[in-house]
């Protein structure tokens, strides 16, 4: 189907009807989500699938065939989606669907599809669908314009700043309020620890000139945009009458310098809304199987920054210590905490790149963690957890002698 061909838009009622999705990667998973939402009977064919699809199959919400596509797999289907990333396979699926007069979405080659998936917005019983001539970014930008103008769902007043916590990195762990503010923003100021996928989702709107993305990312010992300048950017853009979102990782008030940005805006007469986020200090240990408190093991916890060595933390091993940004001072902190009463055999966990593609969990003791971290090349961003709760994690550890 040529990109300049006029299409005939139609709404499909797929509840209870079979749709076959060939390919279990990111694109296939996105397709499955939408199909489940409308009640379709979803069949996935792929030798490998994402964790999300695997969970859906285990729960009986979809049917998964763990193999390559075969002729006959489309029998009884009303619609087919192919998103394998392998051109020959996608072409085979498309050709078989064409032969059996089954509408097909070819995620790799829009011009070979007999159906296109629009960018969709829902508002109660209303559904708006936008097509971009086979270009998803244009469709998304048009959809967002519809949401802002037709649905009149602009949650932020022009000339204000929304200080948003983006959570620990998983885009599904951002609040609904924050998601709405991002969708309507005209300027988004983000940094290195902002959830990357949330920023990437804004790219189509940025290409269309609907939003400006300003990267003020900082790395350890490298602050190309000083905090004073970040404050000035927020004030300047808000004073220009724009809806400004400051997107941070975790929670803006947990070592995120959100308080400084709030004060700067307030002093300039700019109204600020603060939207809390899930702090990595709690959520990142959780994905390693470590609760920061646990009955009978730990009844309190302390969260500290590790820019300097951590000293004089009260309590013993039953008082959990969570250190953020503490990789560079790990050796000094571990030595001090061991000497101050927790002991060199106190369990320690380091979770690198929590919720990210390079997530890794390392478990050792205060007496061994520094040398093990150096040997493994552990680096930021990382969350360090110290205390007996670490023993609850099921990850392989260096706690026992001989596991090194």
Q: What does the pLDDT look like over 284-326, one tens digit per residue?
A: 999 999 999 999 999 999 999 999 999 999 899 999 999 999 9
CA dist 180 and 46 (Å) reads 34
**Please, what are the averages of pLDDT over each run of 10 residues along the chain (404 residues)?**
70 95 94 94 96 94 96 96 93 95 90 86 78 76 69 77 94 91 92 88 84 83 83 96 95 93 96 95 95 96 94 93 96 95 95 92 96 95 96 81 41
Q: Are strands 382-386 and 347-352 parallel, antiparallel or unpaired?
A: antiparallel
The reply to whether 248 belongs to the active site is no
pTM for the whole structure: 0.63
The yes-or-no answer on residue 218 being catalytic is: yes
What digits encode the pLDDT tens for the residues 153-169? 567 888 999 999 999 98
Exactly one of 144, 191, 251, 388 is catalytic; name it: 191
Of the candidates 179, 218, 335, 353, the residue annotated as catalytic is 218
Q: Is 139 helix (H, G, I), strand (E, B) or coil?
A: helix
Q: Which domains does the chain have, with CATH numbers?
A: 18-116 (3.40.50.720), 154-278 (3.40.1010.10), 281-392 (3.30.950.10)
Q: Return the SS3 of 184.
A: helix
Which sign does the torsion angle of CA 168, 173, 177, 178 carry? Answer: positive
CA-closest candidate to residue 24, choices 80, 93, 79, 84: 84
Please say whether the beta carbons of 189 and 214 come within 8 A.
Answer: yes
């Amino acid at each position: 189907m040529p990109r300049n061909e006029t299409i005939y838009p139609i709404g499909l009622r797929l509840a209870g009807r079979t749709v076959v999705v060939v390919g279990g990667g990111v694109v296939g998973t996105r397709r499955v989500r939408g199909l489940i939402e409308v009640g379709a009977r979803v069949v996935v064919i792929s030798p490998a699938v994402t964790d999300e699809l695997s969970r859906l199959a285990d729960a009986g919400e979809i049917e998964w065939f763990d193999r390559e596509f075969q002729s006959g797999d489309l029998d009884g289907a009303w619609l087919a989606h192919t998103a394998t990333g392998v051109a020959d396979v996608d072409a085979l699926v498309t050709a078989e669907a064409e032969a059996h007069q089954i509408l097909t979405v070819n995620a790799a080659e829009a011009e070979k599809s007999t159906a296109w998936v629009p960018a969709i917005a829902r508002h109660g019983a209303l559904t708006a669908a936008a097509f971009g001539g086979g270009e998803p970014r244009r469709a998304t930008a048009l959809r967002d314009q519809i949401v802002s103008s037709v649905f009149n769902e602009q949650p932020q007043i022009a000339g204000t700043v929304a200080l948003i916590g983006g959570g620990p990195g998983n885009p599904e762990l951002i609040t609904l309020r924050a998601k709405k503010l991002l969708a309507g923003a005209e300027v988004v100021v983000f940094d290195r620890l902002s959830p990357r996928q949330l920023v990437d989702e804004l790219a189509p709107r940025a290409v269309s000139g609907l939003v400006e993305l300003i990267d003020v990312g900082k790395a350890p010992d490298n602050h190309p945009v000083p905090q004073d300048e970040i404050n000035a950017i927020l004030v300047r853009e808000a004073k220009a009458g724009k809806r400004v979102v400051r997107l941070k990782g975790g929670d803006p008030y947990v070592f995120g310098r959100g308080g400084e940005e709030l004060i700067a805006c307030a002093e300039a007469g700019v109204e600020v809304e603060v939207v809390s986020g899930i702090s990595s200090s709690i959520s990142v240990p959780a994905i390693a199987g470590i609760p920061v408190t646990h009955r009978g093991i730990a009844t309190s916890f302390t969260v500290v920054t590790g820019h300097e060595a951590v000293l004089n933390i009260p309590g013993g091993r039953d008082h959990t210590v969570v250190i953020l940004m503490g990789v560079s001072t790990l050796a000094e902190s571990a030595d001090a905490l061991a000497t101050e009463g927790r002991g060199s055999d106190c369990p320690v966990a380091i979770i690198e790149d929590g919720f990210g593609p390079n997530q890794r969990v390392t478990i050792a003791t205060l007496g061994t963690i520094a040398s093990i971290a150096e040997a493994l090349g552990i680096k930021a961003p990382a969350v360090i957890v110290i205390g007996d709760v670490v023993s609850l994690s099921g990850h392989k550890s260096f706690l026992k002698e001989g596991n090194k």
